[in-house]
């Protein structure tokens, strides 16, 4: 078993499920993260209200964001091979 603090996650966003809103709270919640390109720094701070005040544990652990079109391009298999867990929303 992998200790929780060592997990690396991929976030798979299935359209029309609220994933875009969630992605704004994630360090690596942008489309280019699946290609190992950085998102804007501290992007969660742009989220309105108290939710964007502090970075969440999920944000620290999620390394890649994949929207369903990226998954269809074969990136989902790539994510399985580069993370310990997959979160689907």
What pLDDT digit, counting tens, does each position of 47-69 carry? 999 989 999 999 999 999 988 87
Distance CA(85)–CA(88), nearest Å, equals 10
Say which residues have a Cβ less than 8 Å from residue 10's Cβ, sequence separation at least 6.
62, 63, 64, 65, 66, 79, 80, 82, 83, 85, 86, 87
**Average pLDDT value for the chain:** 89
Distance CA(47)–CA(22), nearest Å, equals 10
pLDDT tier at 44 (50, 70, 90 boundaries)? very high
Q: Which residue has the higher pLDDT, 75 or 32?
A: 32
pLDDT of residue 70: 73
- Half-sphere CA count of 74, side-chain side, radius 13 A: 0
């Amino acid at each position: 078993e992998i200790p929780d603090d060592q997990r690396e996650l991929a976030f798979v966003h299935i359209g029309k499920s609220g994933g875009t809103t969630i992605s704004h709270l994630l360090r690596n919640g942008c489309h280019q993260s699946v290609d190992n390109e950085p998102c804007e720094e501290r992007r969660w701070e742009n989220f309105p209200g108290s939710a964007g005040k502090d970075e969440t544990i999920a944000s620290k652990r999620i390394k890649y964001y994949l929207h369903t079109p990226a998954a269809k391009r074969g990136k989902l298999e790539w994510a399985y091979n580069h993370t310990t867990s997959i979160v689907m929303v």
